[in-house]
Structure 1
Amino acid sequence: MHKIILDCDPGHDDAVAILLAAGNPSIELLGVTTVGGNHTLDKVTHNARQVLTIAGLDDVPLRAGATRPLLRPVVTAESIHGDSGMEVHGFDLPDPRVEVGEGHAVDFIIETVMSREPGEVTLVPTGPLTNIALAARLEPRIVERVREVVLMGGAYGTGNWSASAEFNITVDPEAAQIVFREDWPVTMVGLDLTHQALATPEVEARFVALGTEVGDFVVALFGAFRQNYRDAQGFTDPPVHDPCAVAYLIDPAVVQTVRVPVDVEIHGGLTTGRTVADFRAPAPAGCHTQVATKLDAPRFWDLVADAAATLGVARG
């Protein structure tokens, strides 16, 4: 079983990542931490409370983290995620029951890692990497104790926030550079992989057929995400990025990876936030980074649908 902290900025696809982590028996969700990204910290934290409420996860610790990048101005993705950060169509989001715990997300990450055996905790960031970088700087000992970092972010091909760079990395490239350069195992689940995780009408129909509140919530997420992605980036069906990182932990065969050195550009006029993956030769000895390349999409959607079914309660 993988014991994870999910560091996120919900966000439509972050919501699906939470549901997948909560509904799969291979994952123990030690906590959810939030970071400003898809929208401001207050909004994404409120959204996390709503998702945890829908999933019935009243006992999962929730902590709010960094409000802004390490050095740069706040940037949000309203064109994709709407004014609330998690716009939905045809679904009434509940008043959240889940409360935000006291203390900062970074302190929660440090305390959780340090209180458990080395190699026990995996960090799964699906937003900007500000919290993770701060944790590594405030308590460097966590680096050797974390089992691995599996992050959704980056691209070795085409970006989405710019021609070169993906949103999560571009928003706080200095934090991303810290995370990639630390000596812990890092798996980058980037756009090259996640653009294969498309919420097609056939996929959506599987969640409609569940006949549950969780299923209806996922359908509502997909509906809003589809319209926003179509308007903003021309996608027919939206890519559902963040649960791909969780799926890799559940079943590594769902996500093919290649071990290569990766670093982050922080100075380029046209390339700031670029995750530079060096495929020129076999990875050198001791290379601690790898990138995801190919998704088994049917198996991936099986995992997500099964998790939603596990969490679901029939409409009443």
Structure 2
Amino acid sequence: MSAHTPRKIILDCDPGHDDAVAIILAGGNPAIELLGITTIGGNQTLEKVTHNARAVATVARLDTVVYPGCDRPLVRPLTVAADVHGETGLDGASLPEPRVPLGQKHGVDFIIDTIMASDAGEITLVPTGPLTNIALAVRKEPRIVEKVREVVLMGGGYHTGNRTAWAEFNVYVDPEAAHIVFNAGWPVTMVGLDLTHQALATREVERSIAELGTDCSQLVVDLCGFFREAYRENQGFDDPPVHDPCTIAYLIDPECVATRRAPIDVELRGSLTTGMTVVDFRSPAGPECSTQVATTLDHGRFWQLVTEAIAAVEDKPEL
């Protein structure tokens, strides 16, 4: 595959303020070919996040389709993050009526059918919410494991959690699904909290985005404003970490995100540690290790990519 060939991805998300920025970045950079968006119950209910995905894609002028996936985890009740994302999942922003179409296939079937119709190594899966859709796709059609180029996911962490002391929200919501995905044998890059907590939307970043003076830039500024207050109140951050677009930035420019190869597994039974991603850094990982973790972010380069993608929306025809 040529270095200049766009990376074909399926974005599996639960918008969510940071998912919204991931959608804009994926749609606004020529290094990414967005094949479709699937949604998953997570930050809010499936109905709400699906509406949000379609509305954000409308603002970003994306020629894509949104396919609703699973509305709950594999075996547990759904936990949402209204304390961080509000009752709509995108509180703080004024969203247009969605003009991006709703797919008729279930999200899991769209994932399977698209991968199975592709060449091996052609498609990358980018989940930025709970991993239920991806896990069900693996269970329903195991052959996708050999065909997917890699899985680059936002979730987990090797030092800290946010939903509990040890568990990051996406993995905590459906740890059984995460266990399936991390142990499937395909290449997995975990872009966890240790990396995404470096992706802070500072006041300077907000000003740079606001200066673009577009509908899309205003949406991102509004999202960051609500996110800032939610993170300050709930987790003590002065500036909010914008987690999910770090996955897309890694695919666009791997130099933007440093990684380290290491075995990763998911705790399912600990009374205090369920949902913890256990990363084994004790020794260099051997060639059989198919997982790696993101460690260090180039903050300036990351926000440059995001700002350029927001600006590029104006060059696209309105939907």
TM above 0.5, yes or no, is yes
Q: How far has the Cα of 1:285 moved from its partner?
A: 2.4
Q: What letter corresponds to residue 49 of structure 2 in structure 1?
A: V
Task: Determine which of 42, 53, 72 is the counterpart of 1:68.
Answer: 72
Whole-angstrom CA distance in 2 between matches of 1:69 and 1:92: 29
Secondary structure of the residue that 2:61 maps to in structure 1? coil
Whole-angstrom CA distance in 1 between matches of 2:296 and 2:119: 32
User: Does the 8 Å CA contact 2:64/2:101 hold for their aligned counterparts?
Assistant: no
Describe the superposition over 1:69-103 as per-residue Cα deviations: whole angstroms up to 9, x where unpaired: 00001100000000100112xx5311111221101
Whole-angstrom CA distance in 1 between matches of 2:315 and 2:144: 38
Q: What letter corresponds to residue 80 of structure 1 in structure 2?
A: V
Question: Within 5 Å, which residues of 2 pair with 1:132-143?
Answer: 132-143=134-145
Secondary structure of the residue that 2:101 maps to in structure 1? coil
More divergent stretch after superposition (304-313 vs 191-200): 304-313
CA RMSD of superposed structures (Å): 1.0
Secondary structure of the residue that 2:186 maps to in structure 1? coil
Q: Does 1:185 align with 2:187?
A: yes
Describe the superposition over 1:89-121 as per-residue Cα deviations: whole angstroms up to 9, x where unpaired: xx5311111221101000000000000111000
| Alignment-derived partner of residue 124 in structure 2 | 122
Whole-angstrom CA distance in 1 between matches of 2:275 and 2:305: 31
| Alignment-derived partner of residue 242 in structure 1 | 244
| Alignment-derived partner of residue 13 in structure 1 | 18
The total of aligned residue pairs comes to 311
Scaled by the length of structure 1, what TM-score is found?
0.97
Q: How far has the Cα of 1:61 moved from its partner?
A: 1.8
User: Does the 8 Å CA contact 2:145/2:186 hold for their aligned counterparts?
Assistant: yes
Describe the superposition over 1:145-186 as per-residue Cα deviations: whole angstroms up to 9, x where unpaired: 000000000000010000001000000000000000001000
Whole-angstrom CA distance in 1 between matches of 2:48 and 2:314: 25
**Moved segments of 4+, more than 4 Å:** none
Secondary structure of the residue that 1:312 maps to in structure 2? helix
Scaled by the length of structure 2, what TM-score is found?
0.96
Q: What letter corresponds to residue 8 of structure 1 in structure 2?
A: C
Task: Determine which of 267, 270, 292 is the counterpart of 2:269.
Answer: 267
Q: How far has the Cα of 1:312 moved from its partner?
A: 3.0
Whole-angstrom CA distance in 2 between matches of 1:147 and 1:281: 26
Flag structure 2 segments of 5+ consecutive residues without an equivalent: 1-5
Q: Does 1:156 align with 2:161?
A: no
Task: Determine which of 201, 204, 215 is the counterpart of 1:202.
Answer: 204
Question: Within 5 Å, which residues of 2 pair with 1:30-179?
Answer: 30-57=35-62, 59-88=63-92, 91-179=93-181
Describe the superposition over 1:217-240 as per-residue Cα deviations: whole angstroms up to 9, x where unpaired: 100000010011111111110000
User: Identical aligned pairs, as a percentage?
Assistant: 65
Q: Does 1:224 align with 2:226?
A: yes
Q: What letter corresponds to residue 77 of structure 2 in structure 1?
A: P
